[in-house]
Amino acid sequence: MKPYEELTSKGKLRRLRGLAVDALRLFGVTAVSLKLIGTDTNLIYRVWTDDDQQFALRIASPEWRGADTAVSEAMWLDALARDTDIPVPQMQRTPAGDAVVFPQAAGAPTDRHAVLMSWLPGVLLGKRLTAKNITKMGELFAKLHQHGANWQPPAGFTSKKFDQYLSRGEENALFTEASLALYEAETEATLRQMVEAVSQTYAALDPADLRVIHCDLWHDNIKVYRGQLYPFDFEDTIWGYRLHDMAMALLDLYEDVGDSAAYAELLAAFRRGYESLLPWPEGEMEMLMFGRMLWKTNWIARFWPEGLAKTAVFHTHLYTHYRQTGELLLPKLPR
């Protein structure tokens, strides 16, 4: 059998399918159909079973998130299902009661973990970006923030906190020798200013606001069905701040809407929904958006250095303009 590392991309996916089959065996599920629907960071399969149920199966790479994050995800989803009316995915368990399994298959990597959860109805919210739906999105954030503040996680829940722009132990490659060689002097200086300003913004947040947050609830991690929003992909569950949680999602919304006036209308709708249940958190949300841009720039420095110079120039231009005018320009990097 050819080593996994020598396979083509398609060959690797065929080999990894064996992990999906074994994961379903471990969960005690008999599939009649198994469709690969996502490959970005993890492998996502839609599963149809012999008893007419549907599930989402995630085969996760440890290079993205560890099994400990999946355990924390399962804990919070169980609590949300028990304590709230939020229609979250239902985590499935093995006959032994485990939410996370470690499937094996001939010739496939041995370090992947998997979770299985109920399939949610509807379409992605990104296809229905109306003011009415974004108001509901604001309400959803508030409900999650209410629960995240009051819930007492059980033993084994993550202790990680998202309280700076790099908070998951990633390598900081922004100012390595290789990265510095690609910047103009002005770009480097502005990047350092951004890092300092973002760090100060996080440090100024109220420690009492720390709670369990989703940390990746952008519009395409939400489905809409018959007027109700269904959040999913709780893999990034972590301790964090409300303003950070919203900044990540609203930055993605601005990028996808692609127009400052349209974004302003949706932001107002989101805020109306949120403030119907909770007061808006204090702090400069745009600075946390710049923290996300620093994270993206750092990711490119690590994995695609060919694009680093262009990305750094673009993000520092946005930052300089914001500092001078208070206006956040469209944050989508031109092709």
Q: Residue 334: its pLDDT value, please?
A: 80
pLDDT-derived band at 62, boundaries 50, 70, 90? confident
Q: Are residues 168 and 47 in the same domain?
A: no
Gap between the Cα atoms of 301 and 319, Å rounded: 19
pLDDT of 219-263, one tens digit each?
999 999 999 999 999 999 999 999 999 999 999 999 999 999 999
Q: Are residues 216 and 299 in the same domain?
A: yes
Tell me, yes or no, whether 40 lies in a domain.
Answer: yes
Query: Domain containing 32 — which CATH number?
Result: 3.30.200.20
Tell me, yes or no, whether 240 lies in a domain.
Answer: yes
Amino acid at 107: G
Q: Residue 220: its pLDDT value, please?
A: 98
Q: Residue 61: its pLDDT value, please?
A: 86
Q: Residue 231: its pLDDT value, please?
A: 99
For the residues 308-327, what does the mean pLDDT come to? 98
Q: What is the mean pLDDT of the chain?
A: 97
Q: Are residues 148 and 115 in the same domain?
A: no
Tell me, yes or no, whether 333 lies in a domain.
Answer: no
Q: Are residues 135 and 196 in the same domain?
A: yes
Token pair, residue 310, equals 């262009």
Tell me how many domains the chain contains. Answer: 2
Tell me, yes or no, whether 332 lies in a domain.
Answer: no
pLDDT of 179-197, one tens digit each?
999 999 999 999 999 999 9
pLDDT-derived band at 124, boundaries 50, 70, 90? very high
Q: Are residues 204 and 252 in the same domain?
A: yes
Measured at the alpha carbon of residue 115, what is the angle toward residues 34 and 39, in degrees to the nearest 5? 55
263 is in which domain, residue-wise?
A: 125-325
Q: Are residues 206 and 60 in the same domain?
A: no
Measured at the alpha carbon of residue 98, what is the angle toward residues 219 and 12, in degrees to the nearest 5? 65
For the residues 192-218, what does the mean pLDDT come to? 98
Q: Are residues 198 and 284 in the same domain?
A: yes
Which residue in this structure is represented by tokens 């939400």? 222
Tell me, yes or no, whether 59 lies in a domain.
Answer: yes
Tell me, yes or no, whether 330 lies in a domain.
Answer: no
**Where a domain ends, among 64, 96, 119?**
119
Q: Does residue 76 surpass a pLDDT of 80?
A: yes
Tell me, yes or no, whether 62 lies in a domain.
Answer: yes
Q: Residue 63: its pLDDT value, please?
A: 80
For the residues 103-127, what does the mean pLDDT come to? 97
Q: Are residues 115 and 155 in the same domain?
A: no
Q: Residue 158: its pLDDT value, please?
A: 96
Which residue in this structure is represented by tokens 């999105």? 137
For the residues 66-77, what does the mean pLDDT come to? 96
Query: Domain containing 302 — which CATH number?
Result: 3.90.1200.10
Q: Are residues 281 and 141 in the same domain?
A: yes
**Where a domain ends, among 119, 154, 178?**
119
**Where a domain ends, among 69, 98, 119?**
119
Other CB atoms within 10 Å distance of the CB of residue 8: 9
Q: Are residues 62 and 138 in the same domain?
A: no
Gap between the Cα atoms of 156 and 72, Å rounded: 7
Amino acid at 203: A
pLDDT of 255-307, one tens digit each?
999 999 999 999 999 999 999 999 999 999 999 999 999 999 999 999 999 99
pLDDT-derived band at 335, boundaries 50, 70, 90? confident
Q: Are residues 64 and 147 in the same domain?
A: no
Other CB atoms within 10 Å distance of the CB of residue 273: 21
Tell me, yes or no, whether 331 lies in a domain.
Answer: no
Q: Are residues 137 and 222 in the same domain?
A: yes
